[in-house]
Structure 1
């Protein structure tokens, strides 16, 4: 499954990639250092995905979907909870007592969030937008993921315009840190 297409297809591919990362982490023995590497990869994917949704998907939901403000607010709450868990997981050794507990809690929250988006939010957005609008949103989401942060920043703004202004700068700093530390290269 490749990236591209409308916003729903793009984000659904992201969801499957996240599912696969959780499966890979769980397949390894407890304490295996590769679990830490996979958790870093998972963090990068979740943060980039969340930032892109916050910059483009949720504003579109607010604009086009009846009751969109409440839907977007609920999704943003989900993101905030996951980002706090990612922050607690960040840098934690795979042998740490809390590592597996945090991964399990993160998986539970992310899986529920994905299900909610795919079952409820995506169909509502698809019914409210034209195919061209969905394609344009897909392009915007892909571009946003390229400059998005790669590490959790729970105190960063999650709504426009603040998230668009701050996000690219934080993303640049995160990628520099990743390069210097060899994280996820």
Structure 2
């Protein structure tokens, strides 16, 4: 059975929650750094992929309601990206490292709850009218995550086509930087060329 777009998004949400907990429930600085980097890597890619694939699909399949949902989600994403940019430049030895992640998570968690409770069910209901659309969106969402920036760049355009252009420019730089960052030993490589 193919994965629906809402399933792919919820899977990312659970992974982000896991990485968040790994950081805040540990006192080991190396562990916190590895999972903080993994959290940043996943959240940056997830956010851009939603903006490029999911939000335009909200607008296409849900009309005015979808446009309103997409705009609200873009606003929430911008706030999350601003906080992520601050967090991604910190090290665990900084006394504000965990508090910054907690404040980021509070905003992100509220967005996740709204998305899972309201946006995704309405979206899937609209997608049921066309066979295979949800599954196709899930595939495109996954593919897109391999080629977008892996760090937060809130000053870059957050709406297509600006997001696409900025992603093409910043993604290679982010991916090179990822080579030199520490990540958890048992996670998928952040280098998209190794997937």
Gaps of 5+ in 2: 184-188, 190-195
Q: How many residues align?
A: 180
State how far apart, in whole Å, the 2-side matches of 1:148 and 1:138 are.
16
Match for residue 118 of structure 1?
Answer: 116
Is residue 39 of structure 2 the alignment partner of residue 35 of structure 1? Answer: no
Is residue 100 of structure 2 the alignment partner of residue 102 of structure 1? Answer: yes
Cα deviation, residue 183, structure 1: 4.2
Q: Where does 1:74-93 land on structure 2 (aligned, <5 Å)?
A: 74-93=72-91
State how far apart, in whole Å, the 2-side matches of 1:150 and 1:34 are.
19
Match for residue 13 of structure 2?
Answer: 15
Cα deviation, residue 168, structure 1: 2.7
Match for residue 72 of structure 1?
Answer: 70
Match for residue 163 of structure 1?
Answer: 163
Query: Alpha carbons of 1:154 and 1:21: their partners in 2 closer, same or farther (altered >3 Å)?
Result: same
Match for residue 150 of structure 2?
Answer: 150
Contact 1:33 1:93 in 2 (8 A): no
Match for residue 56 of structure 2?
Answer: 59
**Where do 4+ consecutive residues of structure 1 move more than 6 Å?**
none
Contact 2:52 2:164 in 1 (8 A): yes
Contact 1:65 1:128 in 2 (8 A): yes
State how far apart, in whole Å, the 2-side matches of 1:89 and 1:110 are.
13
Contact 1:148 1:171 in 2 (8 A): yes
Q: Give the alignment's TM-score, normalised by structure 1.
A: 0.91
How far does the alpha carbon of each residue in 1:111-156 deviate from its partner, in whole angstroms, 9 at most, with x for none?
Answer: 1111111100001101111341111111110110001111110111
Q: Secondary structure at the match of 2:133?
A: helix
Query: Alpha carbons of 1:131 and 1:14: their partners in 2 closer, same or farther (altered >3 Å)?
Result: farther
Contact 2:147 2:171 in 1 (8 A): yes
Match for residue 134 of structure 2?
Answer: 134
Match for residue 192 of structure 2?
Answer: none
State how far apart, in whole Å, the 2-side matches of 1:122 and 1:169 are.
30
Match for residue 186 of structure 2?
Answer: none
Cα deviation, residue 165, structure 1: 2.3
Cα deviation, residue 96, structure 1: 1.3
Cα deviation, residue 97, structure 1: 2.2
Contact 1:149 1:172 in 2 (8 A): yes
Match for residue 26 of structure 1?
Answer: 24
Cα deviation, residue 92, structure 1: 1.2
- Aligned-residue CA RMSD in angstroms? 1.5
Contact 1:21 1:38 in 2 (8 A): yes
